[in-house]
Structure 1
């Protein structure tokens, strides 16, 4: 009987145990070797590995991974909060005519529709959206089902921002880096972006982030995504899409977002994430009346 099981925490010896994975499937390859299908615990990567390449991770080692990731997340969140407060102060200054008018105002951040191929990642992302204050509707959906589901979801939710993500990986054995067929789920992400653009063609009426670890960045941008992964075919963090769309959600619709301003506060950076110049979606209104019963 195998010592490995579904849901077990493991790392890959051939990569010096650099990332934490969980086992989602056990199978045999064409030669009869025992193989585990792995999902990254904090990075949007799917991988196959033989049992001989796996190391079981105990609670102590797992806590070290968790503590390291928590530190990175707190750093990114603090950078985002700095940006958010600057944007809020500027909006307040403009809305009150340089503080010369004593008038309360309200803000309507962009609404997000987030499709995720991994329910655990979706749960983590929804918690961060709530912490930041971004209105979101989250849907767990297998990558292969996304193209057919996206149209009705857009009609139902009418989002300002769309996130299409889950798991992906480039496989050298399946083709060149430039070939879409060499990627686990990039083709499905591209098809989903195309279907979304059939519903909302304008790049500033629906802002789209698409992709996961090592995804085919160029195809996603050509399909109509505003932001995508992964320019250098590196792994991206599970929470990176949240930091990107939060920046867009809280940037006024009259302002253009510099790509570097969006990418710099993510956990992965410009090697894993990129995009095109895009308008924000935040709208400010007044007066703000607080009615009491």
Structure 2
């Protein structure tokens, strides 16, 4: 079968339930193995060529439209949440007076490290739509721990996202053993390095993990939110929805974990976390020229 890098394929043994991108090909001409990245899920897998089928454009479009619809629903629910937060905060800031006051808001600055450049681009587009200041860095999962300290010094984030691709492999061992996971160990080490610089869970909010990641280890390493409690796949954009909720919650308020999870595409099976303080700060007066210094 003539399968090439960057082809979009499905696995016959799984009834082509997930679309994958071929990112590497290993083995010889008699035993070729494709390394696969999920198109919409943060999942990494491998499969023999004989288990793969190239998915045609019409089928890809059909599946893609289903996901875009889910994304739009989630984004709309999130926008409603933000509008309610803003109304509540404006009422409290003005003491309930109807007089219009000129005020400005500073959401949390985000540093997003992603092992997948295509997913990173999707996430950056969504951050821009929502209005969150972000620096996005494509970084191989195995290099993140070595680079995170320097990047934190450079960008001084309020929120750190550590994500990419991951997967649990039954062949490697027990589900509770972190060595049975593709990149969970790398994410855990990156969280630990970040916490060496900023130990406080409120001064730096961390989201870490990808599909099927070892949730407990990430939380105990110092992440505020992580994937994946039930070892299920998470959607490529789920980290952005979590970060956005934190970024637009006032810093005097604590965030109920369910409030963060309910408008994500994956929900509590794929995402979880601990009680965390919001990041948003409001000031006044607004003169039309408030910019964050890079």
The residue aligned with 2:223 is: 225
Instruction: Select 2:279's aligned residue among 278, 281, 291.
Output: 281
Q: 2: CA distance between counterparts of 1:177 and 1:102?
A: 55
Aligned residues: 289
Quick check: 1:209–1:226 contact (8 Å CA) kept in 2?
yes
Instruction: Select 1:209's aligned residue among 195, 207, 210.
Output: 207
The residue aligned with 1:6 is: 5
Q: CA deviation at 1:53?
A: 1.0
| Coordinate RMSD, CA, aligned | 1.2
* Larger mean Cα displacement after TM superposition, 94-103 or 164-173: 94-103
Report whether the alignment pairs 1:160 with 2:158: yes
1:207-238: per-residue Cα shift (whole Å, max 9, x none)? 00000000000000000000000000000000
Quick check: 1:95–1:105 contact (8 Å CA) kept in 2?
no
Instruction: Select 2:104's aligned residue among 103, 106, 109.
Output: 106
Q: 1: CA distance between counterparts of 2:91 and 2:173?
A: 54
The residue aligned with 1:24 is: 23
The residue aligned with 2:182 is: 184
- Name the SS for the 1:137 alignment partner: strand
Q: 2: CA distance between counterparts of 1:103 and 1:24?
A: 53
Q: CA deviation at 1:101?
A: 4.5
Q: 2: CA distance between counterparts of 1:38 and 1:290?
A: 47
* Larger mean Cα displacement after TM superposition, 149-158 or 90-99: 90-99
1:256-287: per-residue Cα shift (whole Å, max 9, x none)? 00110001110011000000000000000011
Instruction: Select 2:248's aligned residue among 247, 250, 257.
Output: 250
Q: 2: CA distance between counterparts of 1:290 and 1:271?
A: 43
Runs of 4+ in 1 over 3 A off after TM superposition: none
The residue aligned with 1:76 is: 74
Alignment of 1:51-200 (within 5 A): 51-200=49-198
Q: CA deviation at 1:100?
A: 4.7
Q: CA deviation at 1:99?
A: 2.1
TM, length-normalised to structure 2: 0.96
Q: 1: CA distance between counterparts of 2:253 and 2:112?
A: 23
Q: CA deviation at 1:95?
A: 1.4
- Name the SS for the 1:10 alignment partner: strand
TM, length-normalised to structure 1: 0.97
Q: 2: CA distance between counterparts of 1:290 and 1:22?
A: 45
